[in-house]
A and B are shown apart, each in its own frame.
Chain A
Amino acid sequence: MKSYLSPVVALLGSAALLAVTACSAGAGSSSGSGSPGATQSLAIGLVAEPASLDFTTTDGAAIPQALLGNVYNGLVKQDESGKIVPDLAKSWTLSPDRKTYTFTLVDNAKFSNGQAFTADDAVFSIDRVKTSWTTSLKAAMDVVQSAKAVSPTQLQVTLAKPSNDWLFRMTTRIGAMFSKTGVDKLATEPVGTGPYTFGSWKRGDSIVLQRNDDYWGTKPHFGQVTLKYFKDPTALNNALLTGTINVIGTVQAPEALSQFTSNDKYQVIEGTTNGEVLLSFNNSRPVLKDIRVRQAIRAAIDHKALLDTCWAGRGKLIGSMVPPTDPWYEDLTSAAPYDLPKAKSLLQAAGATGKTLRLRLPTLPYATSCGQVVKSQLEQAGLKVQIDQLEFPAAWLTAVLKNADYDMSIIAHVEPRDLGAVFNAKYYTRYDDPTLQQALAAADAGDEATQVAEMKKAAKRLSDQAAADWLFLLPNLMVADKDLKGLPQNAITESLDLSTLSR
């Protein structure tokens, strides 16, 4: 009997041993977060991990959130109040025909590969958006006719037509400045001029950034910042409660905030974002083509009650597609007040009472919870609502966004200044409105005052036409150690700026 038993046991035993040695051998090769050393370090808990580090070919907000403003600089950036301010460009002028921008660049910026930053790199970066980027955002660079270096610190960019939007887009990821000699391994080894350099990436866990000691601007306080990624909101909260992280970058479940507000070890920050949570309509559907139906839906929704129920009252009611940090913001919440009798009579007049609308929701926390409230409020006004959950992103993107196979949906549009992108005939809103397009074109071509006036017109038009219903603006909710300073109140840029943080 023994003669049979032992070989098998030996086999199993050696297999186990192999497994163990393989484990420890492999473990050595995957380097960890490293020791903080003499410098202070900080850990921030975030939700979405980047799929790659290359935002020129991979979409998603997580990559610029980690790298833009930290590893990469742009020529210009947006401050917390929404203003466009200098970054690698110290100053700039605009020609009278509003087509030629001349930028004066800082002369002491260096890439992390040792190369100096010059106007040539800026030209290279701008041209490269058109030639090598594959994400849809590259379209914002189409308006550029030519970019040329007048001197190492002078850059001239000529547009095909006047466009206010172009300079704004330069504050986003498409404005990031790359090194001519540092774009071979963007997905794994990003090279930029920023206050931090890329340290390491433990996939599925965290990204570590190291202070750039050669940084041309004010050097950041923290020597090392770890961005740690959590899929589960409870795990994120626990990580702060147990001291694994110092900041919750985005609170995922506002109803769980009380455990932090009642504890004086923590501070809670609440501000605004660019994330308009839309009850979007498919404006090409027969029922929703009728403006009376769309207006009825807006009147049937009690926005204050909805926000209290589904997002713990955190967030801002906006009434149109403009967040308060844009220069043309106006409070349009009174344009469509809650008015149930009006909603009922509008539906009756349109002959839509009793009609069934399909509300196709992505599997996102705010959409799932607010969808139920929307359903019950619309049913009080006399519509029937059929809720249909679609897995996000893949299933929702295909069914709703690509095929527009829906009547209504709920999704936050987090892109900055995205009014024109969201409301046009080609997008999933199928909103075809020449009046709106005229206002948008005039806004883009005119001077600052015209831009503000025309954008106000556009936002008003959308609200009056009830092209969608704006449920609320997502709040910027952060929780952090009490003594941490410099956290942004408003999260309106694509980047999570780490350089301003200190203790």
Chain B
Amino acid sequence: MSDLANQFLFLPERASTFAERVDFLHYFVVGTTMVMSAGVGLAALFMFFRYRRREAHQHTEYVVPDLKTEFLFVSVPLVFFLAWFAIGFRDFTWFTTPPKDSMDVYVMGKQWMWKFSYPEGPNGVNVLHVPANRPVRLLITSRDVIHSFYVPSFRIKMDALPGRYTQAWFEATKPGTYQVLCTEYCGLSHSKMLAEVVVLAPEDYENWLQEQQRGRLQDRQDALADTSLVPPVARMAEQGQKLVGTQGCLKCHSVDGSKHIGPTFLGMYEREEKLDDGQTIRVDEAYITQSMMDPGAHIVAGYQNVMPTYQGKLQGPESAAIVEYIKTLRTANVRETASEGPAYDPIQ
């Protein structure tokens, strides 16, 4: 039944939990629109015929609506529109609140490609592997201009902004390959900024992950055997650890809890920080990124606005790596339990 409706509406395959919600509302909205248009159209047609002009100078009666009619004109559409809104907003809240146990992937848009990096290891360009039936949270950013990450089959979309992380999440419902498109105009090859999401059955995903890691270990051993060069980092957090040293973060921030020119990284993630304007903010990926790119935006109370910006200095997924590193410096009192479903507060 709904497959038929989807064919009629040219909707692509429905492959995420969000898609099911969107499609349900879509039918309701399209249905009301059709009925309303048809109603107005037929009423008009009927009257055009019924009240056609019979003589050139015909006079007409003076007809005005009573209050009841005008009330109906206002209330009927209002009730329908508010119903659409209520359902749509409920689903939107669901979409903007990833479950706590979701798996993180960093997504970076760049003219004209999509880069994906996983906290546990592999990076990739233009192909994102994810397991089916598991919530995946995307932390999306851009290197240059605004892009927008769009997967029609999942019905999800989120802008990629330079210097910020935005987030989106989905739970793919069936294995397969789904197209990713860029929907914010980003220059010459905007229409070629395509990628794909490969959804694998959970076992296949584990195999794929191990495959990736084996490949990297192999690389590392080869490298050790051949040259004794520094081995390529296998995990983003490790890479982040190096970066905070080489980028000079540690000149001002400590990782052992001691206060320096800037706040310590230890236990910073998920902490409520008091700002110098009296507000509080919760340290999450977006805040950490903003602090790197636009340090003056929110100053933690008791510190000076002295940090330089790293916009343009941190390449590729480097900022993501630093975020991952800071995440590992959590103190014991941070809650680590998995959630039962969507939770309506910032998530870990």
> Do A and B belong to a common assembly?
no
List the interface of chain B (C-beta within 8 A of A). Answer: none
